[in-house]
Structures are given as structure tokens and as C-alpha cells.
Amino acid sequence: MKKITISDLMKWKKAGHKFPTSTAYDASFAQIFENEEMPVLLVGDSLGMVLQGHSDTLPVTLEDIAYHTRCVRAGSPNCLLMADMPFMTLNTPEKACENAAVLMRAGANMVKIEGGRWLVDTVKMLTERAVPVCAHMGLTPQSVNIFGGYKIQGKEDEKAEEILSDALALQGAGAQALVLECIPAELAKRITKALDIPVIGIGAGSDTDGQILVMHDMLGISANYMPKFSKNFLAETGDIKSAVAKYMDDVKNGLFPDEKHTIA
């Protein structure tokens, strides 16, 4: 697989080519993804739930993410590798820069940050200092205690407009990609069309530029529950490599997510 950069994602968005993305946490699975030419991988703080057994992502530390970033980079030298900035590592722009540097040194090509317009100054400072940023809006798991659970975001008109406005503000501050999680498909479509940067959806319908799934959900091995927007590709194909290939093909061909895996 050739080395993937943010420029490739921009080209695919302009050309209307949908691209698949997955979480990864270790070298072995990262190598499987590399062999199947998965272009983008994310070391997500979802590891707190699927690897560590917590009920949310809040206990995950910067050191946890850095460790798993090194593991994934060892297994996939050519993917565009994003790494999550964990809970409370963004409390000031200066602290965000220090923490992001740890992840970039561990092998990340880009950091992913959860939040809206309040992160504008942070995004500016990071990108001015050569740290590419992927924003994450909609259902942001680190805000689970504010939301009162894992709930769909953007259903009300006012909230939908706020998410769109914040997405534009973060793009203007320098964000080079955006993840939209658990928002109505029509809102995700509006945001994807409004932004020049690639938009990656999870539980956000089929009109985003790319899709991402937690690896354990894709393979049907999550310990807790299967989200409505996910699909067990392993059950459909029978082996891991075929499951990864099927997921990638279905995303590229616009077959996943379908209506059954879409939030109205």
C-alpha cells in the first residue's frame, strides 16, 4: 500500500470517492488492515471500553493512546494514522500542543479532538505548529456525562444549526478533517456538502465522504452491545480478512451504511 496522506483524502472528496476507516489498537490487526489497504486508521479512546473494559472512554490516558499508536504504526507504516486526544488533554491550547506532540512522536499523522467552537484557538495553535487536526462533533463520547448518556445529537433545528456552524468554524481554524458521530443523516449530508475538508461518518448516514467503525463492532466481538449503526461483517464472511475486505468494498460502493444502519 502506498503511503496515504491528507492530500489523498482531499482528492477523494473532490472526486466523490468514498473511503473506509477503522479503529486499530495493535500491530497484528494493523498489519491485516495494511494488507487489505485500509487507508485510514484511528487509535481511538474507544480502547477504554473495548480493550480495558470501562463503561466509557474517560479513564483513558495520554500514555495509553501513545502506547497503542506506536503498536499500530509498527503494523501499518503506510496508513494515515489518527490518534485520539483523551479526556482533559485539551484544557488549554498550550497543554493541547504538549500532549499532541507526544502522539505525533509516537507515530500519529493527525490528532482527533472532540468538541465544537470552543476549540477554535486550540485548532489554530496546533495547526500553526505542524499538528494536523481532525475535529469530532455530534455525539462526542468524552461528553457522555453532559449528554446524560450516548444519545443522538442534532435532532432539534437549533442544535443542528449549531453543529453546522461549529464545523465551519473549526474548518476555518485549520481542521483538515471532521468525524460526525450519531447525528441525523440529513444533517450529516448538509455538513458534508458545506465543508471543503473530508467528513467521516459513524452513525451519520451514507452521504459523508468516508465511514469509520470501531474494529470490534465491525467484527462483532464488542463485549457490551452492537450499536444500531454498526454491522457484523465477520458473521457475514466467516473470516477476519474477508470481513475487513467486505467492509471496505461496501463503503467504497455506497452499500454501507444502508437504511437499516442509518439514524433518521
Gap between the Cα atoms of 59 and 42, Å rounded: 18
Q: Return the exposure string of 58-95: e unless at least 16 CB atoms fall within 10 Å of the residue's CB, then b.
A: bebebebbbebbbbbbebbeebbbbbbbbbebbeebee
Catalytic residues: 181
User: Which grid coordinates belong to 120?
Assistant: 477554535
Question: 122 vs 88, 94, 125, 190, 199, CA distance in Å?
Answer: 13, 8, 5, 25, 20
Task: Round the CA-based radius of gyration of the chain to a whole number and report it.
Answer: 17
- Asked whether the beta carbons of 151 and 193 are under 8 A apart, the reply is no
